[in-house]
Structure 1
């Protein structure tokens, strides 16, 4: 007989449904626009030409070209490859990169290229892929801190409601009130306490926030991550492109004694000209420094970069001789060198020379320059070259680059500190460069600087203690970055800011994954 109450309730329900429908439609349109902005592309060969197309436009029979950082756009069969390693952890659970070649030649959609290159033909797309069969059936969704809080809140309301029902029912029964009226009153009390519109209100606010953020150039792929920002108390970040501008300029090229060497620049220039694997700003900086005539060099082969060797090699031919030129992290270059070129002489690599080289390296990098080592050797004529050919090489010298700190980095770090968010730097660079950048942006180093080699020797329990005491980690691999994030998540809500293929696992693993606009596809 309560017609007015019934009308009010029905009206509220209709308004709620209408708002929900309107907001979902608006959010869907906004999401579609956002997807267009972050659309992953694939490089294919059509009509004999390389073309970059959207992944959804890839069809069976397309020939795709894959390089480090690319996401495999469909199920493919390898036609040719060179030192190809892919990450299939999202599909198989295997954390270690898997090597692919002519025998193990099947690439699954959704896996990502860690190192090497490949040309492959598309076998299946969409619902016909292994990705669809595996992931859609068993994909594990990581619960965010916001979702955990909502669940706990729901359980609390449920417990309080049950307690109130029994309490009210017990009191009324004790005073011998009508049982049916008592039961109805108790149920009505529970209904009144239940926040029916909470999911709608949360969705409305989060989607509205996502749309406003998109207008300022920030794209939200998961709504619940917005609320996670409010809970975040630790932000892990790479150094390059976040604290620095990632506008790299070649500053100097020196031999082992620290003297300017045109030969070092020549070999580096040849290497940068012929290297076609992982795209990096170092090669661009070398080529932009000045132009050399290298028509007498002919490219024969290359050994792509990977995060375990931390170097890349190019095999060239000149005047009837084949030379392998290797460039990479100085310590990883020196680890494969048996000799060193000093002036016009090539001498054995001994302890005294090692000290001199270490001094030169420290002098250059402590200024804040990012340093790469260059080595070479003559090799025999053969069809293919591998990483095993990177041995008993001749160390030539260093090339140094400058990546200026961002002008806004200091202010951003202060704002994060005032907000109670602790920043931790996880970088593949060396200790000297990292310390100089930290000094330039006003970042206070806490505790001891931890090296990747030290982390590889630690247990997970030991790492949990170390990450609480230190805030700078250098020469870390993608696997080690992931371990640091996991260790921090035991006690904190963790965000990760990155842009490269080496950051992708950590971006995915953190409570809040943040990728910049110029990131590789997998990030």
Structure 2
């Protein structure tokens, strides 16, 4: 039945809205903090001395160096200021819950602990949920755990404490994506009490550590200050001993100290940091604090738990074997552009290749969508790769689906029934071994021929040795009365 409206309102007042409150510095504060730099302190002292001596041209030059340094740092850090905001974008705006014994669509920020949330393939999880009912439910948790493969969910209780999120199969986590199936769960965490919320809290509470290059610059500045002041004192004492006027020696000493200050050093260092940061930005690595560019350059070892942590979790079809031929597919990610080739030579798409791509396109529950940032997939990444490969061949027309056998780990295949022009068509995709067991023939350029299972499995083994994920495709034409 779910919560009543009055109980949900009371819990909302108790636990607060289901949202991430991100503390961030305003542009003015971020700009002013750029002046908090030991090298700039020396330059600002030089500005005051130049003003005192009446050397306005030198003063303007030093001010220009200071402003250029501050502006470069402000712009570069502003590009990475949205790191926490990116976590907020993972939250879905609306979700479906049971309240007052009715199915309702509410704003995600209004979900509270105890709400019963309904999940379907394509939904983004609105809060941390304890599942109590599932049907072939899988979730893409790459954004949270780095797992590139969707995780099958169940309702079995957790038997061990302190398990990582990826091992808690009876839970769905805020911001993750349901790739297939259906399920229901009770909200057990909202806002900062979710796993995503804990990550946001860790990012806010991270202790500030002084980068090695900043420590070296600070030591160098101390050396410059001590050297300039020491030479100034020596110069003043010698001039006084030699009989020069004290007032004259004060001006001469101040002028010498200003001349010894390396005005261009700050701009040179910041420019070097900015160039390094821009090179990394071209590789999609944003540097929030410019000195971090040098710190990363000093890194000798980077430890990572798995490949999915460092990749974009986008699957791409790169090779196809059908009709006794091997095809390579160009293009990466979900951009539906690329060509089919054999060796290095582009080829025309034959009937066997078209049927293979069509099977992957129709026996599929994913959707290719175009967003502001580019193309994206709603659904399972592997199914998304099949959609994109078909789109590269111009296959974008859907056929009415009459029925479906969803994928289950026990049977290792998925099947869909579609209405054709002269009859209905069954499309199947699954493990190569499982699909081959259902087949008696194969489609080639010469037409339908007896199935050569051994040759197909041998080629599949070769692809598997190249670390490729494999899927088999098949189809069968049936009468219109077949359902």
Give the alignment's TM-score, normalised by structure 1.
0.37
Give the alignment's TM-score, normalised by structure 2.
0.39
* Higher Rg of the two aligned structures: 2
